[in-house]
Structure 1
Amino acid sequence: MSAPMKVRLGIGAGASPRDPDTASLVDGCEARGIDSLWFPDRIAAPTPEPLIALGWAAGRTRSLKLGTGVVVLPGRNPAIVAAQLASLAALAPRRILPVFGLRPATAAERTAYPVTGPRAEVFEEALTVVRRLLTEESVTFHGRFSTLEDAVVAPRPARPLDLWLGGLVPAALRRVGRLGDGWLASFVTPAEAGAARATIAAAATEAGREVEDDHYGTNLLVLPPGAPAEETDRALAAAARQRPEVDPHDLVADGWDDAHRRVARFVDEGITKFVVRPAVAPESWEGFLDGFVEHLVPLEAELSGSPAPG
């Protein structure tokens, strides 16, 4: 029998509360002992730039893990990204969780990340550059889109950072298996996540590598109890735009009890890391965090005894 997987649930800084206060979100997660906090890469949304937010939040906290969910890599200078991650890892050891994506979540922001070639190729080369700079003493690299001569990032992390990737289409899933250390999904059902996990694991085996059993995760949108009907309708419509082929009610949890059930279903499919985001702006972060701690955090201990698939 495989060893039990560790279930962990964190918070995603998605929809801002009606009285937005990032400090109360960061401090509230730390004070409640929440595992992690994740910042999205959204230029036009009222959330801070993710890598800047990670540095600011790291300085306010001592135990809270901090992730990007997800940061767009193509269109950024991969050497600078590596230097930023190395600095963050030095300032907050074992607390920085980078996740990279291919393109922005919204079409309106896609022109903000121009690339000089096919986006998937730029992404894979940039990811290679980031990983090598974070793990090698000196890097010389002559690629199609990047050139490095004896490049150095210092201080390099004492422990290599796990580089997780997003994506759901088959090519993206195979890329996770070939190049990534983990997977963070969005707008996905439990059954789809389980099938994706199998695709990733098969691609990793084919590439002669392994993605650890508990390195599969997903974002989970939750409608806070009492959310106004108009806002609920907008959240469901947004989910439908992201995945028009899927019933949006299958992508958005309706309250904490429904979220509880969905987490358990995801765990049954081998998904053990969760970034829980409010689907609509909650009245306050304090209330949302209290609901999260009451209804979902106990699942970390309850479900961590489940055996890993296979």
Structure 2
Amino acid sequence: MSGSELKVRIGIGAGPIDRGPAEDTTTLVDGCERRGIDSLWFPDRIATDAVEPLVALGWAAGRTEHLKLGTGVVVLPGRNPAVVAHQLASLAALAPKRILPVFGLQPATPSERTAYPVPGPRAAVLEEALEVVRRLLTEESVTHHGRFFTLDDAVVAPRPARPLDLWLGGLVPAALRRVGRLADGWLASFVTPAEAATARTVIAEAADAAGREVEEDHYGTNLLVLPPDATEDAVDHVLASTAKRRPDTDPATLIARDWTEAARLVGEFVDGGITKFVVRPATAPGSWDEFLDGFAAELAPLQT
């Protein structure tokens, strides 16, 4: 199936904030709903003013009727998977068909990693925790005696009438193969279109080897866009921080400098089979309303 035949959806990701979590989050949630934007995604960042993602999903669900709400991404190892399953089940009951969970292995910054203590190797804990979450969301009663978690006749209610798709992030080969083996979709960060297309192939091959399938349009990426009012100092800062995160790649290839470049990148990603997008401002926009207006005018029409 070609990219043109797949369902392209483009949402907004909560990025750096300037006026404070309450004001910026309210502007974002209400602005996305009012403009008919497909989805809004919240990051998991303890050491910033970002609102905790699952709390943010609950608050946003209560303010909206149509906006889909995702975590981009929430760190799973270090959280109680039974509690996470109950949180997701509750959110799905309150906002049916609007909750989009994506999990990750660890925080983006090393300084936050001690906030998520794990009982064993982080990757192994993630895989078992994901299994526990999925089983609790789909089975009437779960007994699980694993390496890290033990459940006896555990029940999560109300279980979603329709199973939630559980997506994973990650870019290294082991993470991509994990998506194929265990997840329903993939949400990348800091990747080029060529890298994403290659990763998609790795995931699909891993899924096939495991006797399962990741749906054709369940491959996505975050996309950083510089706000039109970004200062030169802010641009230099974001390029430097991006280079630190991906020292092997020119940071200018990972960040769209304007809406025209963002639209071009979306097209290149779609050509490689990536059809879900979370567009984030690379720096705090001077006006979220202006950023949303630009998004609605330039990127939202690219949806199919």
Q: Structure 1-normalised TM-score? A: 0.96
Between the aligned partners of 1:231 and 1:238, the Cα distance in structure 2 is: 11
2:116 aligns with: 113
Amino acid at match of 2:125: V
Paired residues of 1:73 and 1:101 also in contact (CA < 8 A): yes
1:289 matches 2:292: yes
* Corresponding residue SS for 2:153: strand
2:82 aligns with: 79
2:127 aligns with: 124
1:154 matches 2:157: yes
Amino acid at match of 1:7: V
Between the aligned partners of 1:142 and 1:174, the Cα distance in structure 2 is: 24
Offset from partner CA, 1:264-301 (integer Å, 9 cap, x none):
0000000000000000110121011000001100100x
The alpha carbon displacement at 1:18 in A equals 4.5
1:212 aligns with: 215
Between the aligned partners of 1:24 and 1:266, the Cα distance in structure 2 is: 29
Amino acid at match of 2:15: G
1:257 matches 2:263: no
Between the aligned partners of 1:245 and 1:90, the Cα distance in structure 2 is: 43
* Corresponding residue SS for 2:12: strand
1:11 aligns with: 12
Paired residues of 1:17 and 1:284 also in contact (CA < 8 A): no
Paired residues of 1:18 and 1:281 also in contact (CA < 8 A): no
The alpha carbon displacement at 1:56 in A equals 0.3
Picking from 69, 74, 96, the partner of 1:93 is 96
Between the aligned partners of 2:80 and 2:42, the Cα distance in structure 1 is: 20
Paired residues of 1:69 and 1:99 also in contact (CA < 8 A): yes
Paired residues of 2:229 and 2:286 also in contact (CA < 8 A): no
The alpha carbon displacement at 1:17 in A equals 3.8
Between the aligned partners of 2:137 and 2:34, the Cα distance in structure 1 is: 31
1:246 matches 2:249: yes
| Unpaired runs of at least 5, structure 2 | none
Paired residues of 1:186 and 1:220 also in contact (CA < 8 A): yes
Between the aligned partners of 1:107 and 1:6, the Cα distance in structure 2 is: 36
Amino acid at match of 1:281: A
Picking from 160, 174, 190, the partner of 1:171 is 174
Offset from partner CA, 1:199-240 (integer Å, 9 cap, x none):
000000000000000000000000011310000000111111
Q: After the TM superposition, which segments of 4 or more aligned residues of structure 1 sit over 4 Å from their partners?
A: none
Could you tell which deviates more after superposition, 34-43 or 236-245? 236-245
Between the aligned partners of 2:50 and 2:24, the Cα distance in structure 1 is: 10
Amino acid at match of 1:89: A
Paired residues of 2:229 and 2:285 also in contact (CA < 8 A): no
* Corresponding residue SS for 1:154: coil
Amino acid at match of 1:220: L
Between the aligned partners of 1:130 and 1:280, the Cα distance in structure 2 is: 34
* Corresponding residue SS for 1:104: coil
Offset from partner CA, 1:141-174 (integer Å, 9 cap, x none):
0001000000000000000000000000000000
Between the aligned partners of 2:50 and 2:292, the Cα distance in structure 1 is: 17
| Unpaired runs of at least 5, structure 1 | 305-310
Paired residues of 2:186 and 2:218 also in contact (CA < 8 A): yes
1:231 matches 2:234: yes
1:198 aligns with: 201
2:49 aligns with: 46
Picking from 65, 75, 79, the partner of 1:62 is 65
Task: Let me know the Cα RMSD of the aligned residues.
Answer: 1.0
Q: Structure 2-normalised TM-score? A: 0.97
Between the aligned partners of 2:243 and 2:299, the Cα distance in structure 1 is: 25
The alpha carbon displacement at 1:94 in A equals 0.2
1:277 matches 2:280: yes
How many percent identity over aligned positions? 74
Q: Give aligned pairs, total.
A: 301
Picking from 16, 33, 37, the partner of 1:34 is 37
Between the aligned partners of 1:34 and 1:214, the Cα distance in structure 2 is: 19
